[in-house]
Structure 1
Amino acid sequence: MPASNDLLQLTATDLRMATFRLARRLRCARAVDEMSDAQLAVLATLRMHGRRTISALAERERVTAPSMTSMINGLEMQGYVARTPDSDDRRRVQVDITDAGTEIVAQTIRRRDELLAAMLAELDFTPDELSTLREASELMRRVVER
């Protein structure tokens, strides 16, 4: 039996508020303080999915191509990405994450996981409650990966 519209709305509100507050707390933990969340997102995308064009990155991150070009310029100057000519079309450029960029992403993930683990530990959750949180995270992943 499908959920009622009222239940869907209430759940959406509760999830939005909780995830927004959690995300805000976790964004404070990063390996490089001067790096924006948008730049970290681009590095994470490159780390997870590999080489991409600037237009593909812009589309994925929902920004304009000129904005992505500016972001890539900054990341390249810091040594976190490298551009290479596209092998099929010399007019296009592919962007790769460097070892330094990969390390920044790995350190940021590690710091955020440690922060969240510490937050969970402070609340002294039972194993059943932690299991419930893990199940909820899987459901949330299904929502965002759709």
Structure 2
Amino acid sequence: MDDYENIDALIEAFQQFSRLNWRRNSISSLKPSELRMLVSIRQGNEREGRKGQTVSDLSKQLKVTSPTVTQMVNSLISQGYAIRTTDAQDRRISEITLTDRGERLAELVTVRTHETFKGMIDYLGKEPSDTLRQLLNGVYEYFEQLNNRQDEF
């Protein structure tokens, strides 16, 4: 049996997700990336017990560049979802915190995301869902290694 006989079907399975629009946003006018940023600020604060996150913290957490984070944060600030405060001891450091409005939206996004994935687990079953998680983590590791090798050239 050819190990690669289903390669086209596997490619098609991945391409389906880009066409599905499964993350469509009916919650707010924010882009999906901005919603992820709101949730990341909130999660970082909860995880680290801090009031705010730095651009560097968010960049590491989301695995995107600092200029990308800055652009999204500026958009969230201009729309009233976040604020930037300067550290009293070191004015070079600024922290991003959520406004009440941002906190409410981040909570709503978190709840809806959990509901969506609970529904998927109910639909697939626990064991297939666990297998899917393991497989997706393996796929991610594969592509990470592939990207790292390409960076070497």
Same fold (TM over 0.5): yes
Normalised by the length of structure 1, the TM-score is 0.63
Counterpart in the other structure of 1:47:
42
Residues 30 and 111 in structure 1, CA contact (< 8 A), matched pair in contact too: no
Matched to 1:136, the amino acid is: T
Equivalent pairs counted in the alignment come to: 130
Counterpart in the other structure of 1:97:
98
CA distance in 2, matches of 1:118, 1:53: 34
Normalised by the length of structure 2, the TM-score is 0.61
Counterpart in the other structure of 2:17:
21
More relative contact order, 1 or 2 (CA 8 Å, 6+ apart): 1
2:32 to 24, 29, 37: 37
CA distance in 2, matches of 1:142, 1:101: 30
Residues 30 and 108 in structure 1, CA contact (< 8 A), matched pair in contact too: no
Residues 39 and 110 in structure 2, CA contact (< 8 A), matched pair in contact too: no
Residues 85 and 94 in structure 2, CA contact (< 8 A), matched pair in contact too: yes
Q: What do you get for the CA RMSD once the two structures are aligned? A: 3.7
| Unpaired stretches in structure 1, ≥5 consecutive residues | 1-5
SS of match in other structure, 1:26 = coil
Residues 25 and 32 in structure 2, CA contact (< 8 A), matched pair in contact too: no
Instruction: Give the percent of matched residue pairs that are identical in Structure 1 and Structure 2.
Output: 24
CA distance in 2, matches of 1:107, 1:30: 12
SS of match in other structure, 1:52 = coil
